[in-house]
Amino acid sequence: MKKYNICLLLILILGLMTACSDDRDSNPSLHIPASFVLHTPGYVTGIYDLKNAGTIELTTTQPDYGFTAAATYKVQVSVDNNFEEESKYITLSTGFTSARLQVPAQEVAMAMMTLLEVSAEEDVPTDPIPLYFRLQSTLGSGLYPVYSNSIELPKVLGYFALSEVTLPENMYLIGSVNDWNWENAFEMVPVHSAPGKFWRVAYLPNDAEIKFNSATSWDGNDFGYNADFFSVSTLAYAGLEDAGGNIKVKKGGWYIVIVSTALEGRDYTYTIEFLAPDVYLTGNTAGGWDFFDNTNKFVVPEGDGEFVSPTFVASDELRMCVKLPDTDWWKTEFIVLGGNIVYRGIGDDQERVSVAAGQKAYLHFTTGKASVK
């Protein structure tokens, strides 16, 4: 009987040891390898014509993570085999989960043009050049990055694959005046028939700091102080200073802020102006057209309040504008509609609103609210 009990105990111990061993095998530990292998293609001596090739095929051996892992691969491209400096290589956007990668040739061509700083089609190399590739492998959502060796494709023929750069259609003013919150950013008004040019009547108190962007986000395209953006007269008029890249306004008050955008190659250049806050009534309610002087100019509030028009001298359609240098008034006009300031922008002639003699217009440019009474 005792022998039977001893044998049973031994069987139970062996079973537990086997279970523990199986548990270790089913829960392997993660190993982060130093590198992994990107294979040189068999066609490496041929010419890779990116314009006529749909894809470039690359193959790899999966990194040894200690088990078969679901890795994601990204392709990195360099023109000088420098993968140490981030500015010297580009990571393509397409990710792969297979060890056989069909890399879009267009993405390679776009990276090639960017790395070569090509800005026009005539600058594209006419002969094939060497291009270098390596892979980045990650687990999950970009965890545990591991990099392969680099390989050379010695004959890669590129083409001008970059998308057309166009002038921005929108512009926003952000800063201390709206708590640096893009949800509260001031949308600027496009000038009719002047692509890339925008204006805004804005109250900027003493030491306000501002920047601009064509999108409501910190996407790296925002811009602020650069001495080349301003004329000497603008710098002096608003007391503009550099505040860590922001534009600081030392002389607080109301301004017409103008941003003009131009293209130099594929890069934007900007001209920023700060003008007097001259807002005008025009047309029959002002006593005539195409004159802009103190008789038809709005009264500017002391602080962040309402602009008040001269008294309407006739019952007729309400027409108002700011008058930018060398710009027809109707390209920067606006009306009062539904209790709001509604700007013409780049649109067609606006809905007409009739007012009565003896009334005035009241405009609050910060809130966008307006009335006639």
Same domain, 135 and 202: no
User: Does residue 162 belong to any structural domain of this protein?
Assistant: no
Same domain, 245 and 308: no
pLDDT for 69 = 83
Same domain, 181 and 152: no
Q: Which helix (H) or strand (E) holds 261?
A: strand 253-264
Same domain, 255 and 316: no
Same domain, 195 and 288: no
pLDDT (tens digit per residue) in 155-194: 999 999 988 789 999 999 999 999 999 999 999 999 999 9
Question: What is Dmax (Cα atoms) for the chain?
Answer: 123
pLDDT for 5 = 42
Angle value at C-alpha 211, between 208 and 217, nearest 5 degrees: 125
Same domain, 91 and 136: yes
Cα(256)–Cα(90) distance, integer angstroms: 41
Cα(37)–Cα(146) distance, integer angstroms: 11
Please tell me the total count of domains within the chain. 3
Cα(172)–Cα(185) distance, integer angstroms: 6
Distance from the first to the final alpha carbon of the chain: 111
Last residue of a domain, one of 231, 247, 275: 275
Tokens of 170: 């929108």
Same domain, 189 and 268: yes
CATH no. for residue 316? Answer: 2.60.40.3610
Angle value at C-alpha 222, between 220 and 228, nearest 5 degrees: 120
User: Does residue 17 belong to any structural domain of this protein?
Assistant: no
Task: State which residues form the domain around 363.
Answer: 279-372
User: Does residue 8 belong to any structural domain of this protein?
Assistant: no
Same domain, 211 and 248: yes
Q: Is the CB of residue 174 less than 8 Å from the CB of residue 208?
A: no
Residue type, 176: S
Strand-pair partners of 148? 36
CATH no. for residue 88? Answer: 2.60.40
Same domain, 213 and 178: yes
Same domain, 139 and 177: no
Strand-pair partners of 14? none
CATH no. for residue 209? Answer: 2.60.40.3620
User: Does residue 351 belong to any structural domain of this protein?
Assistant: yes
User: Does residue 164 belong to any structural domain of this protein?
Assistant: no
Cα(189)–Cα(197) distance, integer angstroms: 8
In 97-234, the DSSP E strands lie at 100-104, 129-139, 143-147, 151-157, 172-175, 186-187, 189-190, 197-204, 208-213
Last residue of a domain, one of 275, 298, 313: 275
Same domain, 186 and 145: no
Taking 70 as the pLDDT cut, the residues of the chain under it are: 1-27
Cα(76)–Cα(286) distance, integer angstroms: 64
Phi/psi for 191 (5° steps) reads: -85, 130
- Which DSSP symbol is given to 266? T
User: Does residue 359 belong to any structural domain of this protein?
Assistant: yes
Number of neighbours of residue 91 by Cβ within 10 angstroms: 13
Same domain, 347 and 297: yes
Q: Is the CB of residue 66 less than 8 Å from the CB of residue 48?
A: no
In 122-207, the DSSP E strands lie at 129-139, 143-147, 151-157, 172-175, 186-187, 189-190, 197-204
User: Does residue 21 belong to any structural domain of this protein?
Assistant: no
Last residue of a domain, one of 242, 275, 308: 275
User: Does residue 303 belong to any structural domain of this protein?
Assistant: yes
Tokens of 60: 């790899």
